[in-house]
Amino acid sequence: MLKMKGVNKVYTTDMIETHALREFDLSVESGEFVTVTGPSGSGKTTFLNIAGLLETATSGSYELDGVDILGLSDSQRSVLRNQKVGFIFQGFNLIPDLNLFDNVDVPLRYRGLSAKERKARIEEALARVGLAARAKHVPSQLSGGQQQRVAIARALAGKPKFLLADEPTGNLDSLMARQVMELLEEINTEGTTIVMVTHDPELAARSKRNIQIVDGQVCDMNSYSVSSTSI
């Protein structure tokens, strides 16, 4: 599971402090699919980047899969990130000159796997997202929805426990967005914990749990609705 308590993140630029997260508390259990919504600038990306060990908190405690992140060095943190976390982004972040096979291989190259094991994982991941036949194509030959599926394959090839998605459907039309969401739901059912930032209220409404971040703090809509119905 993923557990943040009293997390603060302060950015200082030109002597101006921005509190991106304030006393931020959130627990996500293994197997959950959580969507995260909130106004622009409210701290969603900051939360996801800290959750995925891309950034560190200024203060507060964070535990990922039983490991206390505060006690880790930078290199221990990257090892843990490689083992546990996959990312997908709004802009897909594929390398334009590499074919799909090589794009999915990029993060695997840092994991000390044999070429044979990497090939097996890449083929399995591309098949999982329905793009096995396109392995030799480059990203520009695919639709946006297909490119995002390649990015999902790239994340899955690392066999992550946690898949963190920052507006993965933000550049897609509504049909492709729904298809990507359905794929993520299947992946969640197969056991991967997913946290997804989205601006799309329809997608947020589909998830079992939606949390809203406002002004760097979490407002758990589900617990809110439970307590408000009991009034």
- 203, β-bridge pairs: none
Is 144 one of the binding residues for ligand ADP (CB under 6 A)? no
Is 3 one of the binding residues for ligand ADP (CB under 6 A)? no
Give the nearest distance from C-beta 199 to ligand ADP in angstroms.
Answer: 4
Nearer to ligand ADP, 25 or 102 (CB): 25
- Give me the 160-199 binding string for ligand ADP, x by CB under 6 A, dash otherwise: -------x--x----------------------------x
User: Which residue pairs, CB below 8 angstroms and at least 24 apart, start in 16-24?
Assistant: 19/216, 20/46, 20/216, 21/46, 21/47, 21/50, 21/57, 21/216, 21/217, 22/215, 22/216, 22/217, 23/60, 23/217, 24/60, 24/216, 24/217, 24/218
Map residue 160 onto helix, strand or coil.
coil
- The secondary structure element, H or E, covering residue 27 is strand 16-28
Is 18 one of the binding residues for ligand ADP (CB under 6 A)? yes
Nearer to ligand ADP, 43 or 121 (CB): 43
Is 46 one of the binding residues for ligand ADP (CB under 6 A)? yes
Binds ligand ADP (CB under 6 A): choice among 45, 148, 193, 198: 45
